[in-house]
Amino acid sequence: MIKNIKESKDFGSTSFAVLLYKWRKVLLIIAAVAIVLSFIFSSPVFITPLYKSSVVLFPTSTSSISKALIAENAGSEKDILEFGEDEQTERMLQVLNSSRIRDRIIDKYNLLQHYDIDTGSKYKMTKLYNMYENNITFRRTEYMAVKISVYDKDPTFAANIANDIAILLDSTINEIQRERALRGLEIVEKEYHDLQMDIRQMQDSLNNLMKLGVHDYESQAEMINRQLAIELANGNNAAVRRLENKLRNLANYGGAYVTLINSIEYSVEQLSLIKGKYKEAKVDAEQFLPQKFIVDRAYKAEKKSYPIRWLITVVTTLSSLLMGIFVIVIIENYNNIRRKSKEIYN
């Protein structure tokens, strides 16, 4: 019994280094096999090498030309040369991830065939979208810029897709904004033309009143009353009757004249304001500004980015050695327990 306890203590105190040294040949074989196999299976025969191309861009601070350039309070708006902030960056990322850009890229580059996806597959579009998301990524950098990264087996293909996505960003945002801008233009244009028509109608009515002898109600009334007083003092009854007829005419149409004059003045002021809005809406609907500042354009990569063979080899080798050591420990413990069992029963 004492002998068994002693042997158990001796075995438990065996250092890990001694164990490794004992199995050094096996571990070296495992490492060598892992290195060779990982190097073989990470070759282009088994893993298609991918090349990476990237575009780095900043969003703009404003997308409205009229607000930035021609509005009366343009000075209070953000400068068109200013970089955008968090809100604009998040908006740009959302557009980049939209189906509008994705579907255009898929159609232009025929990615279904390029990715070797079976067109007869029931889930071909699901596979295509998954490969698109795996090979084409968008992320915000630490400096609030947006980085478009494209991986592809063809380096030229990757660079072209990355640059085209940056181009499509402008057209996509402009299309989205143009839908709203055109509707806004229709509303303002209708109001502008309706107000013009109202003013013309009021001016026609004013012309009719002027034909009836009402030209300037206040000055005319003052002048006639002054002349009436003079004629009354002179006893000129014919002149008095003539002036009284003019006063009755002013009394009949003077109120309408004053109302029309005030309405025309107010409408002309409103027309001037709406005309400014109309010009702004027209510019927003017909003119466009770039939606981004491109810092780095994509170029054809000279070296592949995936797979990283040395990293695969190192990780595979270390994993194999750890697994081998784990198995060795199990074997050693099993042999030790088996030996002790024999000694006990013997």
Cβ contact 55:162 at 8 Å? yes
Q: How many degrees, rounded to 5, is the angle at CA 231 between CA 214 and CA 215?
A: 10
Mean pLDDT calculated for residue range 305-316: 78
- For residue 164, what is the enclosing H or E element? helix 155-211
pLDDT exceeds 90 at position 148: yes
Between 9 and 190, name the one with better pLDDT.
190
State residue 69's pLDDT score: 54
Q: What is the pLDDT of residue 3?
A: 43
Q: List CB contacts of 55: < 8 A, sequence separation 6 or more.
A: 147, 148, 162, 163, 165, 166, 294, 296, 297, 298
Q: How far apart are CA 240 and CA 237, in angstroms?
A: 5
pLDDT tens digits, residue range 3-39? 443 444 444 445 677 777 788 888 888 888 888 887 7
Query: Is pLDDT above 60 for 136?
Result: yes
The residue ranking higher by pLDDT, 152 or 224, is 152
Dihedrals phi, psi of 55, to nearest 5 degrees: -125, 135
Report how far apart the first and last C-alpha atoms of the chain are (Å, whole number). 13
User: In whole angstroms, what is the distance from residue 68 CA to residue 185 CA?
Assistant: 17
Residue 308 has pLDDT above 90, yes or no: no
User: CA of 163: how far to CAs of 93, 297, 301, in Å?
Assistant: 16, 7, 13
In this prediction, residue 81 carries a pLDDT of 60
Least confident of 75-84, 206-215, 291-300: 75-84
Annotated domain spans of the chain: 2-44+307-345, 51-181+289-296, 185-286
pLDDT above 90 (res 106): yes
Whether domain 51-181+289-296 has CATH 3.30.70.1130: yes
